[in-house]
Amino acid sequence: MSNADVHHGNAESNLDLLRARVQSARNYNDLSTDLAEAIRGARSVSIDSMVLGGERGSAILRIYSIATETEVRPGEKMAVTRSWYMNGETKDLTVEEFLQKEIKKTRRLWEVGTRGSARKSWFYEESDRALAAYMQVLRSYLGRKLNVDLNERHLTAEDVFKHVFADVFELQGIVIPSDPRDNFTDPKAVNIGNLAAAAVEARLADSSTKIRKRIAVDMYRNGETNIRRISKLTGLARDTIYKELESEN
């Protein structure tokens, strides 16, 4: 079992990741307008994830906690001792003050993704729908090998998880949910979203300039003509991107 995922940059980088990945959602049309507004105005986002590798690729579950609003309210009344300078002397005086309390309003979003020959992501605003999709992705993408020879290899926690997961469904006769369904109208936007997410991930992972240049060129060729945005996502200077585009022509 693995939890190797690229995120936990600064607040701005995590927001870049969220926005790029949502743009790549293969069920983008299922997402509410309220969510789109929340993401546009988000102050910060924390990301938790789990990545499991299997025979056909990796299955990914990410949970985004989007801070949409921060409100400061008076908290509890407490006695506070302060030093006061009066008539040439310093005295400690105890006063009662209300301590401020910061309240963050958050919104949850779940991403179910696969990484194999291609990267695909579906986003859900309800946890039960996300769980159903994730179970199907696990079943489809992890696979499992039977008749493991314990004399030749050691079972990992991931091996055990995959076997137990498959057996539970087979023994109990549980109906496996259907594959996550696509619902998008702009394939170009989905593709650019995937490349944008790859650009931020490469930047946060300190990938080589060569890799980030390749992503920048791919983004431009696939329809992202905003060089300023490509520069921000990849971490490359705009002059570097222009030179790379010229060398490709």
Domain boundaries, the chain: 71-104
Q: Among 8-17, 83-92, 95-104, 221-230, name the one with the lowest average pLDDT.
A: 95-104
- Position 81 scores a pLDDT of 73
- Position 215 scores a pLDDT of 96
Helix (H, G, I), strand (E, B) or coil at 247: helix
Query: pLDDT tens, 201-215?
Result: 999 989 999 999 999
- Position 151 scores a pLDDT of 45
What is the phi/psi pair of residue 8, to 5°? 55, 40
- Position 2 scores a pLDDT of 44
| DSSP bridge pairs for 71 | 103
Mean pLDDT of the chain: 80
pTM: 0.72
Helix (H, G, I), strand (E, B) or coil at 78: strand
Instruction: Yes or no: say if 184 and 171 are a contact pair by the CB < 8 Å rule.
Output: no
- Position 145 scores a pLDDT of 45
Measured distance CA(228)–CA(194) in Å, rounded: 18
Is the pLDDT confidence value at 191 over 90? yes
Measured distance CA(119)–CA(24) in Å, rounded: 9
Tell me how crowded residue 118 is: count the other CB atoms within 10 A of its CB: 8
Is the pLDDT confidence value at 143 over 70? no
Element holding 49 (H helix, E strand): strand 44-53
Q: Among 39-48, 131-140, 215-224, name the one with the lowest average pLDDT.
A: 131-140
154 band by pLDDT with thresholds 50, 70 and 90: low
